[in-house]
Amino acid sequence: MAIRELKVCLLGDTGVGKSSIVCRFVQDTFDLNTLPTIGASFMTKTVSCGNELHKFLIWDTAGQERFHSLAPMYYRGSAAAVIVYDITNEESFYTLKKWVKELKEHGPENIVVAIAGNKCDLSDMREVTVKDAQEYVKFINAIFVETSAKNATNVGELFERISEQIPPLDPSQINSNGAFKVGRHQVRPTKRCC
Ligand SMILES: Nc1nc2c(ncn2[C@@H]2O[C@H](COP(=O)(O)OP(=O)(O)OP(=O)(O)O)[C@@H](O)[C@H]2O)c(=O)[nH]1
Ligand SMILES: [Mg+2]
């Protein structure tokens, strides 16, 4: 079975739960007392998708403003970007829109964009409605899920939906050891976000 390496980056405001989503996805753990990410951190996880294996090379970026200038290193060459906001923090939804704009202007042409409205376990403190988020996401043609890294809600589904957006391999692109790398040119062009 061919293994495809898919570079994926997580972007979004500090504190929205990017590292928590990655920890939940890769290690199935959650910590209420995380530290802000410094620079970026890297993890991998391989999942099956149809007849293929997708090895996600996950770059979890730091949301603090002082690290903003590093972001292009992580979204460049990415097959997908997960942009995270916190449903209890309207400000983080505006930051998400800035990331969408930046990706549109400077990101890979055919990058798959997934929007995650995290902390959906705190719906009594909600500041961003599902309707507002859905309307915006429809406008930019991206994947959308509300997640809870804490309760493990929709975290696997988020990455499954990204996998589904990656077009199946052209057999002529598989090398002798079954490995295949996918970058900006192999993702499905009709699924552009913006
Ligand atoms: N209730 C709840 N808290 C969460 C959830 N996800 C993350 N948190 C908490 O939110 C805080 C920040 O989470 P992080 O994952 O460190 O946030 P981050 O986006 O990686 O932040 P930076 O690394 O600074 O960009 C931590 O206290 C987490 O425990 C969630 O789904 N529900
Ligand atoms: Mg972090």
Residue range 77-133, pLDDT digits in tens? 999 999 999 999 999 999 999 999 999 999 999 999 999 999 999 999 999 999 999
Are the C-beta atoms of 118 and 83 separated by less than 8 Å? no
The model's pTM is 0.91
Q: How far is the CA of 137 from the centre of ligand 2 (A)?
A: 23
At 175, list the tokens. 């090398």
178 within some domain: no
pLDDT in tens, 141-180: 999 999 999 999 999 999 999 999 987 777 666 555 555 5
Which residue reads 């293994």 in tokens?
3
Q: Is the CB of 19 under 6 A from ligand 1?
A: yes
DSSP E strand stretches across 101-192: 112-118, 143-146, 179-182
Structure tokens belonging to residue 44: 């991998």
Ligand nearest, relative to CA of residue 153: 1
Inside any domain, residue 129: yes
For residue 134, which phi and psi values (nearest 5 degrees)?
Answer: -65, -40
Residue 60 domain flag: yes
Distance 16 CA to ligand 1 centre (A): 5
CB 115 within 8 Å of CB 16? no
Q: How many domains does the chain have?
A: 1
Q: Look at residue 188 and tell me if it is in a domain.
A: no
Distance CA 46, CA 83 (A): 20
Pocket test for ligand 1, best of 34, 58, 61, 127 (most atoms within 8 A of CB): 34
* CATH value at residue 59: 3.40.50.300
Residue 81's nearest CA partner among 171, 158, 133 is 158
- Is 9 exposed, middle or buried, given 0-12, 13-18 or 19+ CB atoms closer than 10 A? buried
Structural domain that includes position 78: 3-165
| Cα(121)–Cα(87) distance, integer angstroms | 9
Q: Cα(7)–Cα(147) distance, rounded to whole angstroms?
A: 21
The answer to whether residue 177 sits within a structural domain is no
Q: In this structure, is residue 23 part of a structural domain?
A: yes
